[in-house]
Amino acid sequence: MPRSFKNVSKYVNTARSAGFMLKNIAKRSRILHLGVIILLLFTACKQDQITVRIAVTTDVHGMIYPHDFISRAPSDHSLAHIYKYVSEQRTKQDTFFFLLDNGDFLQGQPTVYYYNFVDTFQEHLSARVMNYMEYDAGTVGNHDIETGPQVYKRVGDSFQFPWLAANAVNSTTGLPYFEPYTILKAGSKRIAILGLITPGIPGWLPKNLWAEMEFRDMVETAQEWVPHIIEKEKPDLLVGLFHSGTDASYGGNPDAYMNENAVMLVAEQVPGFHIIFAGHDHRVSTQQIANIEGDSVLIIDPGSHGRFAGEATITFGSQGMQIRGENIPMQAYDPSEAFLEQFAKEYETVSEYLEDTITWLAADMVGLDALFGPSSMLSLIHNVQLDLSAAQISFTAPLSISAVLREGPLLVSDMFKLYRFENMLYRMELSGAEIDGFLEHAVGSWFNTMSGPGDHLLLFGPNQPGRLASPYYNFSSAAGINYTVDVTRDPGDRVSIQTLSDGSPFNEANTYSVALNSYRGNGGGGHLTAGAGIPKEELANRIAWSTDRDLRFYLMDYLRQQDTLYPLTRQNWACIPVHFTGPASISDRKILD
């Protein structure tokens, strides 16, 4: 008797019962055998199936630590949180995991400013952080270019992954200045990542920051590179990593050439993409659209500042390819202790830099004041711009309406509330008529047309209570002239300039020197082009002078020379009629507070 049946025989007393038992065992054996076959088939199917997960950060703006150095408050989102999520994903043995970044890393929090412009000798913190996190690829953002070639070249040279932007080309050779695309491998599968950057940079940034480049239309560039990638690389998956937004109509004509936010245009008009990661617009969304051939394209926009990680999961199997996407909130994750320990020294260094006292502030300055008329915060910026440039007139706009600088010591960290961006300062030559057109353009998108004191003073979006119709950073006011804004009149016919601030006549035929930041001076917001009517190609010729460094640097230098800053407000302009605008200012402010 076979050894395996020895114990069975003890319980078999008759041939019949023995036969029954043997049949039962044989049946179970067949079932067991079938189960093994099914298990083997299932295992084989699993082996044929490949799962890929792609995570993307975008518009991090230096939010490396779980601490906002500007507001001096803890944060529930940062790269430390992202790294915790990433570390968990990398433990999943049945999934190929890739980490990408979609640009605008090098501007925003003081952490990156410090390593951009203060400590320029050691390897940049951003490069060390992203290499530590093992990013697989990244796309360049417009604010990365804003830091200047000394910074973005230094950082790019330190990256241990390709930095992409196919439509930023070398102005001499016509070839991509950065890498156009890269190939990632997941087992037998090839994944192509094509990088594109918003082409609006020449309209925002001084030429010296991108002197070796020119920027090309995103749709045309994708039409050039996608066939090349498909033919040469034969990818199983084509991913767009675009530092550009999803709303092509934002700021103008959705069909405009060189559209700033062309993600949807590329997705619709250029077949071949399976997934496109968007950025630049700081919006959070996931959506699927059909391209001109009827194929589905997944669009994922993870917002900004590390609040979300965009995630696409791709499964290659016998039934083809399945794709799903979502934005993963980082509030669900604790910051990585290993990450914080790795970069603890840099945290302390930046903290010490930001705690330096610049001067003493004698009274509060409130950013929201600038929406309703002259304010102490913008008056300070006007004063510095006029003093630094020796111009007759100054233009500036609020860069943060939530900023509040409290009476007491004014710290370096407060300068990032006062002035958020690394703009240069220009002095340009404008005619009086162009100055009037500039201001008409600004107030046209700023103020509502009022017919009574019960109307809104500010122009809010339709069916969007509490949301301004236009970005407040385009609400430029002027110093050096005395003027009124009649909000009962139609846009384009509201501004009345009486005199220069010294009382001398203002003449539309005369030429005046004007101080304004480089974003505005290069055409940002359309004040000089659509408003003043200056052809875009002529703007560079109007620039008579420029600072070498960012305006925040000069603001700090100006304030260090004063033991105490007494905030004063230039009362050189007003919205009229006051019996309309006074009550409306109070009610609109309650909406925004």
* CATH of 356-592 given 3.30.110.40, 3.40.50.300, 3.90.780.10, 3.40.50.720: 3.90.780.10
**pTM for the complete prediction?**
0.88
Checking phi first, is residue 148 left (phi over 0); if not, alpha (psi -120 to 50) or beta? left
Ranges 33-37, 201-205, 285-289, most confident: 285-289
- 3-state SS, residue 500: strand
- Kindly report, residue by residue over 100-154, the tens digit of the pLDDT: 999 999 999 999 999 999 999 999 999 999 999 999 999 999 999 999 999 999 9
- Kindly report, residue by residue over 502-528, the tens digit of the pLDDT: 999 999 999 999 999 999 999 999 999
Helices and strands: H and E segment counts in the chain: 17, 29
Tokens standing for 248?
Answer: 């092509």
- Kindly report, residue by residue over 528-570, the tens digit of the pLDDT: 999 999 999 999 999 999 999 999 999 999 999 999 999 999 9
- Kindly report, residue by residue over 294-349, the tens digit of the pLDDT: 999 999 999 999 999 999 999 999 889 999 999 999 999 999 999 999 999 999 99
Question: What is the model's pLDDT at position 29?
Answer: 43
Of 188, 203, 280, 284, the residue nearest 243 (C-alpha): 280
* Pairing relationship of beta strands 168-170 and 181-186 according to DSSP bridges: unpaired
- Kindly report, residue by residue over 195-209, the tens digit of the pLDDT: 999 999 999 999 999
pLDDT higher than 50, residue 10: no
Dump the DSSP string for 159-212. Answer: -SS-EE-TTEEETTT-SBSSB-EEEEEETTEEEEEEEEE-TTGGGTS-GGGSTT
pLDDT higher than 50, residue 44: no
- Are 451 and 544 a contacting pair, CB within 8 Å? no
| Beta-sheet strands, E only, within 16-166 | 50-57, 67-68, 73-74, 95-101, 137-139, 163-164
Q: Determine the Cα–Cα distance for residues 501 and 316; give it in Å rounded to an integer.
A: 70
Question: What is the model's pLDDT at position 28?
Answer: 44
- Are 201 and 103 a contacting pair, CB within 8 Å? no
Domain positions in the chain are 3-46, 49-350, 356-592
Mean pLDDT of 158-178: 98
Question: What is the model's pLDDT at position 464?
Answer: 77
Question: What is the model's pLDDT at position 18?
Answer: 36
Mean pLDDT of 82-98: 97
Q: Determine the Cα–Cα distance for residues 457 and 371; give it in Å rounded to an integer.
A: 10
Q: What percent of the chain has pLDDT over 70?
A: 92
pLDDT higher than 60, residue 592: yes
pLDDT higher than 90, residue 253: no
User: What superfamily would CATH give domain 49-350?
Assistant: Metallo-dependent phosphatases (3.60.21.10)
